[in-house]
């Protein structure tokens, strides 16, 4: 366990550099950046709202709305305490929704009907004091929130009450309370990137926020298989993490989620990139995996769910030809090949041997966060360390997914293998590729 902790501590430092930009935790950090010093109640409120709404909706879309909400408050020289005034809130809500895409806030609260009441409960109640003597903080928090909600039952309009109930996790037994535990991690832990607002709660009693990524990665590390989303599993994983770090067991929450988010640890284990995963040596599956991902056996080298991938392969081949011509002309290359076999049956989409070795991977989309893993694998097999360049070409790009790809490039330390790494996107109108720019 000591070696495992050393590895996790090392990765904690590595991942914390870029973690915030792809997490809802950036919302309270951005709020502090705008307003400077803020009251604890303000920080508690935006943190709770950001965590509780992080539910069945893509992070980039939801995060952008929270950042815009903070900006709108700043422009009006207002804060959450001002939003508690119902008249001011209704004016703010209508103005805010008129400016967001489709006038839509969240899948389960599109018109922000529940937002006001959740905000009111969190802002006006001293939640920390109600949890201080609790054995299980998450259950106590869930029960407290529901108890406070019941006090407003007779004054909350029925449609708004229904929305609030659909957003807030019920204190019933069996729930892993992922969002409550995420909030508690942010607000109790006092080490960056967490906020450390609540000083009177013991971080040793926190529970792991058991989401899909932790289920997969922690499950494979500790059990050799994916675990389920249940309170019992959350307790088991937390207890295992206490053996690693008794004083701060959930410190490594976001470290354990990264392999799944960065496209290394995939749903199907045979397609996972165990050979390049930074947690491989600690994983019961990864440490026993001697072969490369089965994605290298497919034409596209990325997960395909379509039953008939022929059209996707045609599009991929088209992009390969365009990228091939682009690189030859741009870098005056001569000895270039496509789909060329190297050791262990690996086949880079484009491989050029000149004064500079160029290795390029072509992907139809950034969705599955593939590319950096393949470049790392090729560099290992080709023993690339200098006079080499890596290129990733994507047919369709998403800014959030590009951030994860860039984080993967940094985490895998590809710059130790390639002098230069460039990301390109396909321009359908010009039928060429261009360097990616935000």
pLDDT in tens, 29-71: 999 999 999 999 999 999 999 999 999 999 999 999 999 999 9
> Sheet harboring 420-427: ordered strands across?
336-338, 350-352, 357-365, 388-396, 420-427, 432-435
CATH class for domain 297-435?
A: alpha beta
Q: How do strand 388-396 and strand 357-365 relate by DSSP bridges?
A: parallel
- Residue 307: per-residue pLDDT: 64
363-386 residue pLDDT tens: 999 999 999 999 999 999 999 988
φ and ψ at 434, to 5 degrees? Answer: -135, 150
Does residue 301 carry a pLDDT above 90? Answer: no
User: pTM for the whole thing?
Assistant: 0.94
3-state secondary structure of 222: helix
Does residue 306 carry a pLDDT above 80? Answer: no
- Give the DSSP H/E element, type plus range, for residue 335: none
Does residue 202 carry a pLDDT above 90? Answer: yes
What is the rounded average pLDDT of the residues 257-275?
96
3-state secondary structure of 357: strand
DSSP bridge pairs for 337: 351
Domain parsing of the chain, residue ranges = 1-244, 297-435
CA distance readout (Å), 268 to 219, 226, 306, 383? 13, 10, 16, 28
Find the angle CA(194)-CA(282)-CA(10) to the nearest 5 degrees: 40
The mean predicted confidence, pLDDT, of the chain is 94
Look up tokens 């400077």; give the residue: 36
Does residue 249 carry a pLDDT above 80? Answer: yes
């Amino acid at each position: 366990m000591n070696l495992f902790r050393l590895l996790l501590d090392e990765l904690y430092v590595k991942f914390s550099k870029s973690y915030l930009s792809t997490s809802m935790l950036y919302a309270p950090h951005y709020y502090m950046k705008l307003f400077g010093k803020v009251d604890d109640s303000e920080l508690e409120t935006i943190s709770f709202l950001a965590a509780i709404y992080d539910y069945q909706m893509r992070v980039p879309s939801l995060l952008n709305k929270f950042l815009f909400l903070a900006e709108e408050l700043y422009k009006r020289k207002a804060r959450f305490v001002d939003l508690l005034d119902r008249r001011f809130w209704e004016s703010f809500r209508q103005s805010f929704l008129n400016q967001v895409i489709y006038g839509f806030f969240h899948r389960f609260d599109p018109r922000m009907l529940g937002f006001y009441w959740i905000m009111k409960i969190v802002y006006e109640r001293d939640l920390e004091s109600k949890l201080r003597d609790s054995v299980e903080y998450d259950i106590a928090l869930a029960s407290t929130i529901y108890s406070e909600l019941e006090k407003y039952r007779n004054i909350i309009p029925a449609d708004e009450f229904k929305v609030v109930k659909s957003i807030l996790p019920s204190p019933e037994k069996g729930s892993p309370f992922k969002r409550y535990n995420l909030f508690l991690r942010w607000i109790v832990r006092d080490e960056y990137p967490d906020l450390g607002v609540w000083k009177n709660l013991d971080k040793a009693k926190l529970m792991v926020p058991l989401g899909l990524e932790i289920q997969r990665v922690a499950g494979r590390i500790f059990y050799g298989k994916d675990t389920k989303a249940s309170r019992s599993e959350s307790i088991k994983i937390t207890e295992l993490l206490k053996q690693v770090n008794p004083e701060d067991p959930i410190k490594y929450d976001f470290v354990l989620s990264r392999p799944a988010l960065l496209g290394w640890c995939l749903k199907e284990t045979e397609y996972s990139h165990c050979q390049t995963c930074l947690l491989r040596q600690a994983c019961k599956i990864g440490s026993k995996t001697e072969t490369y991902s089965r994605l290298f056996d497919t034409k596209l080298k990325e997960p395909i769910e379509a039953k008939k991938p022929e059209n996707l392969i045609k599009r991929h081949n088209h992009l390969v030809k365009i990228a091939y011509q682009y690189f030859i002309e741009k870098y005056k290359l001569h000895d270039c090949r496509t789909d060329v076999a190297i050791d262990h049956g690996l086949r880079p989409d484009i491989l050029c041997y000149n004064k500079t070795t160029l290795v390029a991977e072509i992907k139809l989309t950034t969705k599955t966060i593939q590319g950096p893993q393949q470049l790392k694998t090729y560099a290992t097999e080709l023993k690339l360390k200098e006079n080499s360049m890596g290129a990733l070409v994507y047919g369709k790009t998403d800014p959030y997914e590009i951030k994860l790809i860039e984080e993967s490039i940094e985490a895998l330390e590809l710059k130790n293998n390639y002098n230069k790494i460039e990301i390109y996107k396909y321009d359908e109108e010009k039928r060429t590729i261009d360097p990616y720019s935000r």
